[in-house]
Amino acid sequence: MTRKRQRLYFLLLGMSALGIAVTLVLMALKQDVIYFYSPSQLTEFKVPANKRIRIGGLVEVGSVAKEGAITRFRVVDKQSGIDVAFTGLLPDLFREGQGVVAEGKLGADGGFAAAEVLAKHDENYKPKEVADALKKSGEWQREEGPAR
Amino acid sequence: MESLSAFFAMGGYAGYIWPAYGLALVVMVAVLVLSFRDARARETELDLLQQARGRRRPSAGESK
Amino acid sequence: MHRFANPARFLRMANAVLPYAAAAAAALLAAGLWFALIASPPDYQQKDSVRIMYIHVPSAWMGMVCYAAMALFSAMALVWKHPLADLLARATAPVGAAFTFICLVTGALWGKPMWGTWWAWDARLTSMLILFFLYLGHMALANAFDDPARGHKAAAILALVGAVNLPVIKFSVDWWNTLHQPASVAKMGGPSIDPSMLVPLLLMAAGFKAYWLMVLILRARAEIAAAKVHTIRMAQVHAAGQGE
């Protein structure tokens, strides 16, 4: 075959090998690449207590309660949930039924003590009028949480 | 004008929005201006060199 | 493809396209800015901060498109030894780096009010930062050697190796838990952006592409001229050496 074709095959082979290698590495490193654990993944990855981690999911509707300086809420995914306690300022976009990421530690009691809370918004963009109309007509569908 | 100041206030997010647009503008204009000046400088340099050599025209394969 | 191998022909075509690219960029960006800042509504939850999207997303797209082009030019240089390919890769690198920089900074300006943080080491943001460093690496390598050919070869290899980062960037928000939300435009089921917001987004994206074309042509002209100067100077040195 021509030298040109040789170079092309070499390139394709090299890129394929590289792609496979990168895929394997990323698969092996999954626990380090994910930005947060969903409540289900806390069990799946057997995350220990008292280790600084992040959890994420949806704020369960009706679970937000303020006790003085402490805000309590429940973070859920499709299969499970965890109770969170947080002292501090919540971000503007924090609300029930919305995505949230909390950094802190799992307590021995199975709850989560959060040191920082971030809001995670979804990928839907619409003007207020459209959102209001959807809510009115009952078509408003909350996108399910980010947990996998 | 009220609506003009409301426009600049951007619902309270002015401190984030205007720096974002401003940065994009500055960077894109800078890249454009620098690229234009670079092209002009290099082509002038090439012209002068070619004139000095008596307008010797390089063939296609030479440009590497 | 080999029709473009002749630099004189390439330059003629490029110079013919240049005024149209410039006009298109000006018109599309003007229209895009009008819609982005004035004639589009605030988001129901992100309010006016959504307007940062009209800079952030197009610059992210351009950062990735530029890199893909750079990788393609690099493959053409290494495999087909196309004479202009290395020069085009050099020409597009700084523009891609600039777009990626804009994306990262506007992202931080958008993240602080919406998420509550300027930065997060999640897979999407981290892989975009890596993309920025790949650009810088390419620019450094291409200029590192006295012999341009060696620099170009090293840079081309870097560009191709780094290209595995592109699918990682794109699918990071699907493969892993990230703070950054999933795709709103290029996804199954169609865009999840209201048309009133999709218009400024697409206008700005098109404007950025036309701008890229314009800058790429200018930089290609500079690279071609510089390469010719280098050739002439090398010939002069060679001739001077032989005349002794």
What is the tens place of the pLDDT at every residue in A55-70? 999 999 999 999 999 9
Domain residue extents for chain C: 25-38+48-181+195-235
Query: Which among B10, B45, B58 has the least Cβ separation from residue C231?
Result: B58
Contact C215, B35 (CB under 8 A): yes
pLDDT (0 to 100) of residue C82:
87
| Residues of chain C positioned with their CB less than 8 A from the CB of B16 | 49, 52, 109-110, 112-113
Contacts of B43 in chain C (CB under 8 A): 221-222, 225
- Delimit the domains of chain A by residue range: 1-33, 35-136
Tens digit of pLDDT per residue, chain C (244 long)?
A: 565 678 899 999 999 999 999 999 999 999 999 999 999 999 999 999 999 999 999 999 999 999 999 999 999 999 999 889 999 999 999 999 999 999 999 999 999 999 999 999 999 999 999 999 999 999 999 988 888 889 999 999 999 999 999 999 999 999 999 999 999 998 888 899 999 999 999 999 999 999 999 999 999 999 999 999 999 998 888 888 876 5
Any chain B CB within 8 A of the CB of C153? no
ipTM value for the complex: 0.92
Structure confidence by residue, pLDDT tens digits, C151-166: 999 999 999 999 999 9
Per CB-CB distance under 8 Å, the chain A contacts of C80 are 4
Give yes or no for C2 touching A (CB within 8 A). Answer: no
Whether the pLDDT of residue A48 is over 50: the answer is yes
Q: Which of C177, C179, C180 to mutate to test the interface with A (most CBs of A within 10 A)?
A: C177
- Across A1-5, A103-107, C167-171, least confident range: A1-5
Domain A35-136 sits in which CATH superfamily? Nucleic acid-binding proteins (2.40.50.140)
Look at C184 and A124 and tell me if their CB atoms are within 8 Å: yes
Residues A7-37: tens digit of each pLDDT: 999 999 999 999 999 999 999 999 999 999 9
**Beta carbons of C44 and A146 less than 8 Å apart:** no
Helix axes B14-52 and C85-114, enclosed angle (nearest 10): 170
B21 CB near a chain C CB, below 8 Å? yes
CA-based end-to-end distance of chain A: 48
The region, left, alpha or beta by phi > 0 then psi within -120 to 50, assigned to residue A26 is: alpha
Q: What confidence tens digit (pLDDT) does each residue in C184-207 have? A: 998 888 899 999 999 999 999 999
What confidence tens digit (pLDDT) does each residue in B1-55 have?
Answer: 568 888 899 889 999 999 999 999 999 999 999 999 999 999 999 999 999 887 5
pLDDT at A135 over 90: no
For residue C166, give Cα distances in angstroms to A126, C64, C174, C193: 28, 7, 14, 23
In the block, tokens 């030894």 appear at C81
pTM of the model: 0.92
| Cβ atoms < 10 Å from Cβ of B56 | 11
